Amino acid sequence: MKQTSLPITSTVLFHPNEPSDNTGGQNLLQAIDCEANHMKRKTHPYYPFANKLEWELGAWLMNGGLSMREIDLFLQLDFVSAFSDFMHILQFINT
């Protein structure tokens, strides 16, 4: 009995963009250490918040499952005047 083999074919696909090498770049932690307020972060554990209470409020607002509208309504209460709206909190957290 004679054995026959099937021809092997292969296809090479080329991506239209050339690969790039970004050596020498910074990861996120390195970038944080190089930003303007990195020394404040080292000496003040709740920076950019003034204290632990503000940090806890910001963390709860971010992780509490509230909508942006609900957060804005909460922040409109007279006794909560540190932030003007949800976007202000996001900007404050990301500084």
Which residues form the domain of 53? 29-93
The percent of residues in the chain predicted with pLDDT above 90, rounded, is: 3
Most confident of 18-22, 62-66, 77-81, 86-90: 62-66
Question: What is the predicted pLDDT for the residue at 85?
Answer: 60
Q: Is residue 84 part of a domain?
A: yes
Q: Is residue 53 part of a domain?
A: yes
CA atoms within 13 A on the CB side of 82: 15
Q: Is residue 78 part of a domain?
A: yes
Provide mean pLDDT across the span 14-24.
73
- Domains: count for the chain: 1
Q: Is residue 65 part of a domain?
A: yes
Q: Is the pLDDT of residue 20 over 80?
A: no
Q: Is residue 1 part of a domain?
A: no
User: Which residues contact residue 14 at a Cβ distance below 8 angstroms, ignoring those fewer than 6 apart?
Assistant: none
Q: Measured in whole angstroms, how far is the alpha carbon of residue 30 from the centre of its chain?
A: 14
Q: Is residue 9 part of a domain?
A: no
